[in-house]
């Protein structure tokens, strides 16, 4: 199945804004306000879990303090994860970003809007807390795929509802039964969002195939390759982006995971480790490892900025911080670059980001 070329409609304005910031123009004085909405696939697991937390904002930190029953003591906040790595990459590239996130373990997009996933934390208030330039929406890992226990109708409907809340921001009411089959008859009341931005650029964060749903006997994709679940996720995210309209693009993180496997960079089956290959999955075989978080962030950074992630080179700072060896960093940068190109993203190579023996690390771009 060939990838759907959704990304062709993703370019208006954003790339020029970001590249101007990278060049040190006046835009740098007004950092791009970037919000990540999602769950544990975005905040990840160690070693990326608390990476770069001093330079980003965890909008649920106070919720975890005030209502600790909704937090996990084994995964203490604030969280860094993919947003923390993206911020580190942006700083090295000279792209001014104010990165914040509203994340909660297991949360669906429906749960973010209705504050029901689970109850207690006011996630919708986080979404309305600023006028965002860019918002990345990451659904629950199986939310978009019926076969994996999700509900595509619900996923699609709430992508649309979040788009409305973030870009239009009008107060309105509805019944879910009118949006998708099997929806609740309860009346849902959505308050106005005073910070809605009609010009906000919205992206969908395409997730990856889960080995724990592929390799064990009795799993939804048992006996089938990672390609099957990846194709289902790709199709679901593409269908929603087209149906809802107005999205800047789908960030092909899940396809980057598969490409890393197909290119021989990453292990295919984490239950059967292979020498000299990275494992993109954490010990639970579905959350991202440090390598998986790094690949996710590289793909995200390239999609949002138009800067080729392979520009960073072997000695990129966050890779070293996460314990990723220089050769592995190069390989994962290459995977992200190739996948973004295959998905239709136009990338600009920034040779000045590459590490040199003299600099002993990445040096920032200059005009």
Q: What digits encode the pLDDT tens for the residues 87-135?
A: 999 999 999 999 999 999 999 999 999 999 877 899 999 999 999 999 9
- If phi > 0 it is left, if psi is from -120 to 50 it is alpha, else beta; for residue 323 that is left
Does 89 map to a domain? yes
> In this predicted model, what pLDDT tens digit does every residue of 270-309 receive, in sequence order?
999 899 999 999 999 999 999 999 999 999 999 999 999 9
**CATH number for position 192:** 3.40.50.1110
Residue 361 lies in a domain: no
In-domain check, residue 259 = yes
Q: In whole angstroms, how far apart are CA 340 and each of 204, 298, 310, 315?
A: 14, 10, 11, 22
Domain that holds residue 76: 6-353
- Whether residue 362 lies inside any domain: the answer is no
Instruction: Output DSSP code: residue 275.
Output: T
pLDDT(366) > 60? no
pLDDT, residue 68, reads 83
Least confident of 74-78, 84-88, 147-151, 351-355: 351-355
State the average pLDDT over residues 159-182: 98
Q: Is residue 358 part of a domain?
A: no
Q: What is the pTM (predicted TM-score) of this model?
A: 0.90
Tell me whether residue 248 is in a domain: yes
User: Looking at the 3D structure of the chain, how many domains does it have?
Assistant: 1
Instruction: Report pLDDT for 69.
Output: 79
Candidates 318, 353, 311; CA nearest to 333 is 311
| Per-chain mean pLDDT for the chain | 90
Here the tokens at position 73 are 């003591």
Rg (CA), the chain: 19
- 363: in domain: no
pLDDT at 353: 74
Please give the average per-residue pLDDT across 53-61, as a whole number. Answer: 97
Q: Is 1 domain-assigned?
A: no
């Amino acid at each position: 199945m060939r990838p759907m070329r959704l990304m062709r409609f993703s370019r208006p304005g954003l790339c020029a804004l970001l590249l101007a910031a990278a060049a040190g123009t006046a835009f740098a004085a007004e950092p791009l306000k970037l919000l990540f909405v999602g769950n544990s696939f975005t905040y990840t697991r160690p070693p990326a879990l608390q990476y770069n937390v001093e330079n980003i904002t965890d909008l649920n930190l106070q919720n975890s303090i005030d209502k600790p029953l909704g937090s996990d003591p084994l995964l203490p906040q604030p969280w860094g994860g993919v947003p923390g790595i993206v911020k580190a990459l942006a700083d090295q590239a000279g792209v001014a970003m104010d990165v914040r996130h509203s994340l909660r373990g297991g949360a669906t997009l429906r749960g973010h809007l209705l504050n029901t996933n689970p109850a207690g934390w006011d996630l919708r208030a986080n979404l309305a807390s600023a006028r965002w330039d860019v918002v990345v929406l990451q659904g629950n890992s199986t939310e978009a795929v019926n076969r994996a226990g999700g509900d595509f109708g619900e996923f699609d409907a709430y992508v649309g509802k979040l788009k409305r809340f973030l870009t239009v921001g009008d107060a309105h009411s509805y019944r879910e039964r009118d949006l998708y089959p099997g929806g609740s008859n309860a009346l849902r009341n959505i308050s106005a969002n005073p910070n809605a931005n009609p010009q906000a650029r919205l992206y969908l964060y395409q997730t990856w195939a889960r080995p724990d749903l592929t390799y064990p006997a009795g799993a939804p994709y048992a006996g089938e390759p990672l390609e099957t679940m990846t194709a289902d996720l790709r199709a679901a995210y593409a269908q929603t982006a087209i149906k809802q309209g107005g999205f800047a693009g789908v960030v092909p993180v899940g396809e980057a995971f598969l490409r890393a496997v197909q290119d021989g960079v990453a292990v295919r089956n984490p239950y059967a480790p292979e020498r000299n290959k990275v494992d993109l999955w954490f010990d639970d075989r579905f959350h991202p490892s440090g390598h998986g978080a790094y690949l996710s962030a590289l793909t995200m950074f390239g999609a949002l900025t138009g800067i080729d992630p392979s520009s960073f080179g072997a000695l990129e700072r966050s890779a070293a911080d996460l314990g990723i060896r220089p050769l592995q960093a190069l390989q994962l940068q290459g995977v992200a670059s190739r996948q973004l190109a295959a998905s239709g993203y136009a990338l600009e190579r920034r040779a000045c980001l590459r590490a040199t023996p003299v600099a002993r690390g990445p040096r920032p771009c200059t005009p």
